[in-house]
Amino acid sequence: MFLILLFTVVCLVLVHDFIRKCSYRWKKLSEYPGDTPLPLVGNALQLGFDADDSSHKLMQIWAKHGKVNFRMSVGFEDWIMLSNVDDVATILNHTSELSKPLERNVAMKPFFGNSVSSSEGDRWRTTRKLMTPSFHFNTLEKRVDDVNKYCVQLFNQLDNFEGREVEIYKYLRPYMFDILCDSLMGVKSNLMDNLDDPYLEASRKVIGIVTENYFSYWRNIRPIFVLTPIYRDMMDTIKTIRNTSSDIINRRREKINQIKEDLINNNLEIDFDVSDHIEKKLSDNGCLLDKFLLGTNSSGEPIPDEMIEDEVTLVSYTGHYTTTMTMAHTLYCLAKYPEIQKKVIEEQRKILNNDLSKNPTNHDLNQMKYLEAVIKESIRVVPTVTKIGRQLHEDLHFKDGRVAPAGTSVIVFYEAMYADPKIFPEPEKYNPERFLGTMHTFAFVPFSAGPRNCIGFRYAWVVMKSTLSHILRRYEILPGNPGSEPQFAYRIITESKNGVHLKLKKRNP
């Protein structure tokens, strides 16, 4: 009986595979180079069972097929991995193909819910509209002021490591979270004074878990996954970061209610609209959380608490984590290439009139073209985000006439793009000057582009440039001790498994 059942299952799998490979979708996918997928599992075995090694395996497949766009199948999902800049422009500029890949959303939604990163339609449009004012040009000077203020606290900690090795993630992460909470959430988090805060430990685990969820396909078999210790650890991690978000929301709501109460008590003799007055009073501070607490959805109803919590959890996490990784990896690159670091300091001296202790303005930051090129080259060498994608609802036509069929996940493969000699000549060299010239508009889009770009990219650039300007003017950055070389894991966000170890040497004023 068992053999009959096994034979039947095998026949059904083979029939399904035959039908699939006779379909229109497979015909279009076959126009791209790629290895023949096995029945049921596709090319999943080529990725192996170590999620941290998956990006490395994908790079090997890309090289094997001539360093061009290629296809692969993972289970029943089909991917087209893009490294051609014209094709990247086609998908990112598309006005209607805005859905994120299914497997990516499955991995992220347990942590960040139906936030702006994953949502679609009215929910996505409402959220983008509410968030946009907090990242407007006119808020940037205030963001620079926030960095100037918090760098004092950062240096109080880093000065203790002068001449010694420091693991820079440990201090940049709470620093960045404190800035973000103050400037975008309107509350003080004070994580720099509490390095053992549960949020820091929980948030450290998130990217590893999300990456495992993305590439470890057995985790999609929920009845099995929920029985494992890994699931319990994931749920504990989610609870911690969600509790932090709830605390932030409650504290800001209390502040707003106190302001309302003070306004009423101070204007008892005046007939005025409290809600209108409070909104005007708070509108100029660029506080993102206020937009959600005081805003309404497309039906004119208050924003639900669940929606606010999703967005606060996402912004608090991704906002502090991606910028921390980018800044730490840039410092690591500058420690490796002291001649580049010297050029950065020369630019700083020129812009700030040799006053290395000066607090820069946003105008000063805009002039720091070489520092910006260094950050970009560091992202190219160590990509902060390794890939982004879209789930196609309709056929997508590329410039060369080929079609990505509906239902396919089209992945912008940043790692491959940044290592492609056709886009970046001599990609093995660390050369910031390449970003001072002209290049294809879509050769370097680390914050995505088009309708679904990262809404906070201006905020990120201001914070990264101003922070690095402060750090580099205060310290000469040197490599860490022998054996402390970063062990980069190219996860959903790239991070070093053993941190980034550097030495700091105070500069002469």
Nearest residue to 302 (alpha-carbon basis) of 116, 126, 168: 126
* DSSP result, 301-360: PBPPHHHHHHHHHHHHHHHHHHHHHHHHHHHHHHHH-HHHHHHHHHHHHHHTTT-TTPPP
Which is more confident, 9 or 96? Answer: 96
The pLDDT value given to residue 298: 78
Lowest mean pLDDT among 50-54, 274-278, 488-492: 274-278
Q: What is the pLDDT of residues 301-332, one digit of tens each?
A: 889 999 999 999 999 999 999 999 999 999 99
The residue written with tokens 């076959």 in the block is 30
> In the chain, what is the straight-line distance between the N-terminal and C-terminal CA atoms, in Å?
84
| Gap between the Cα atoms of 408 and 391, Å rounded | 6
Cβ-contact 467, 476 below 8 angstroms: no
Cβ-contact 58, 47 below 8 angstroms: yes
Over range 427-454, report the average pLDDT: 95
CATH (residue range 101-380+464-509):
1.10.630.10
pLDDT band at 44 (very low <50, low <70, confident <90, very high): confident
> Is there a binding annotation on residue 454?
yes
The pLDDT value given to residue 275: 60
| Gap between the Cα atoms of 178 and 194, Å rounded | 11
The pLDDT value given to residue 75: 82
* DSSP result, 375-401: HHHHHHHS-SB-EEEEE-SS-EE-TTS
* DSSP result, 402-453: -EE-TTPEEEEEHHHHHT-TTTSSSTTS--GGGGGS---TTS--TT--GGGS
Residues 6+ apart with CB under 8 A from 155: 470, 474
Cβ-contact 371, 347 below 8 angstroms: yes
Residue 269's Cβ-count burial label (10 Å; 0-12, 13-18, 19+) is exposed
How many CA atoms are closer than 13 Å to the CA of 200, on its beta-carbon side?
Answer: 20
Q: Residue 452 is encoded by which pair of tokens?
A: 């679904």
Neighbours of 488 (CB within 10 A): 19
Looking at the chain, the whole-number percentage of residues with pLDDT higher than 90 is: 71
Q: What is the pLDDT of residues 246-271, one digit of tens each?
A: 999 999 999 888 877 777 777 655 55
| Gap between the Cα atoms of 206 and 203, Å rounded | 5
Q: Residue 364 is encoded by which pair of tokens?
A: 């000063």
Position 15 pLDDT exceeds 80: no
Cβ-contact 111, 241 below 8 angstroms: yes
Q: Residue 224 is encoded by which pair of tokens?
A: 């099995």
How many CA atoms are closer than 13 Å to the CA of 5, on its beta-carbon side?
Answer: 2
The pLDDT value given to residue 497: 95
pLDDT band at 477 (very low <50, low <70, confident <90, very high): very high
In this structure, are strands 488-490 and 494-496 parallel, antiparallel, or unpaired? antiparallel
Cβ-contact 469, 462 below 8 angstroms: no
Over range 222-231, report the average pLDDT: 85
Q: What is the pLDDT of residues 88-108, one digit of tens each?
A: 999 999 999 989 988 888 889
Nearest residue to 104 (alpha-carbon basis) of 390, 477, 439: 390
Q: What is the pLDDT of residues 339-350, one digit of tens each?
A: 999 999 999 999
pLDDT band at 219 (very low <50, low <70, confident <90, very high): confident
The pLDDT value given to residue 480: 95
